Amino acid sequence: MGYQGSNRIAAESISGGDEAALPRAQHLVETDWLAAHLEAGDLPLRVVDMRGHVHTETSPEGVQTARYAGAEEEYAKEHIPGAIYLDWTRDIVDENNPVPAQVAPPEKMARVLGQAGIGDEHLVIAYDAHPAAQFATRLWWVLRYYGHENVRVLNGGWSKWLREGRPVTAETPHYPPAVFTPRIHPEWRATAGQVLEAMHQPETALIDARDEGQYTGRIRRGKRGGHIPGARHLPREAFFTEEGTFRSPEELAQVVAETGTQPESQVIAYCNGGVAATSVLFTLSMLGYPHLTNYDGSWNEWNQREELPIETGNA
């Protein structure tokens, strides 16, 4: 069966054939669905544990430092049976890029995923323990950028899986090597120059996924605080319930509508390192927004380049 055929069948399996539920099913899977298909072994699945951390410290003056970290020790202790671990700070980044956490080049992605046993034919299910699923959505975005559409995020992630008392293991799976073929889709990733060119265009909707303190400049991470001029504030946490699951489609649509972002907009999302921004892009994609781009360098790059303009305060 071809890749697109596998993708279609997987989506129909997740949605139960309900056309109205298909867009959500093309992005999310529920814990009961995953448990049933892991037991049945009837789909070419690869579950990926993307747990990780951003450790921050903020001084009384509002200067914040951040340290990016994986969670491989947590994975080694227990994880979803059959899950592979990928470190968001190491396995899917470009170590040679001076801007932290930039997406890995295609040859590295082909090597890392192929060695992990993730190939073109696999339905990838990503999960993490972040309250806004930002490491799982980061993998979703990386795979979409490289042309692999057959990827989903586990709704509620590791926390919901544990809360429901589902099986866990410390056993590390070993899959045979696979062939992952990167097919770059440049529209998914923007450079600082492209953002600068687009920021004053009426069809562009710049979205800042960081918290209010960083957006206004009250909290400064890097040389300068504030936001890209004209950016709308839409923190990633707005999409989630208190239990850490995505809100209903109607609620999500309302959250986005309150920012004035229209489905026909060319959306460019950013955060500090292009990771939290993927929660925004994932949600908009789930709502059917077709023109979505991640400014991968985000504030880590923008704040350091003094020739790039900034704003402070509320929009």
Residue 188's pLDDT is 98
Instruction: Tell me the whole-structure pTM to 2 decimals.
Output: 0.94
- Local structure of 281: helix, strand or coil: helix
List every span in the chain annotated with CATH 3.40.250.10: 3-184, 187-302
Strand pairing class (123-127; 84-85): unpaired
Residue 9's pLDDT is 45
Residue 13's pLDDT is 55
18: tokens are: 């309900």
Residue 65's pLDDT is 96
Alpha-carbon distance of 214 to 289, in angstroms, equals 26
Alpha-carbon distance of 296 to 299, in angstroms, equals 9
Residue 314's pLDDT is 87
Residue 4's pLDDT is 42
Alpha-carbon distance of 307 to 302, in angstroms, equals 9
**Candidate list 86, 231, 252, 271, residue with the active-site label:** 271
Residue 200's pLDDT is 87
Q: How many CA atoms lie within 13 A of 43 on its CB side?
A: 27
Answer for the pair 277, 298: CB distance below 8 angstroms, yes or no: yes
**Which CATH topology does 187-302 take?**
Oxidized Rhodanese; domain 1 (3.40.250)
Q: 194-249 pLDDT, tens per residue?
A: 999 999 899 999 999 999 999 999 999 999 999 999 999 999 999 999 999 999 99
> 170-177: long-range contacts at Cβ-Cβ below 8 A with a sequence spacing of 24 or more?
170/76, 170/77, 170/78, 170/79, 171/81, 172/76, 172/85, 173/82, 173/83, 173/84, 174/117, 175/46, 175/84, 175/116, 175/117, 175/118, 176/117, 177/114, 177/115, 177/117
Ranges of residues in the chain with a pLDDT under 70 are 1-21, 315
Residue 22's pLDDT is 74
Please give the class, per CATH, of domain 3-184.
alpha beta
Is residue 271 part of the annotated active site? The answer reads: yes
Residue 2's pLDDT is 38
Residue 315's pLDDT is 66
- Name the DSSP letter for residue 169: B
Residue 5's pLDDT is 45
Q: 138-174 pLDDT, tens per residue?
A: 999 999 999 999 999 999 999 999 999 999 999 999 9
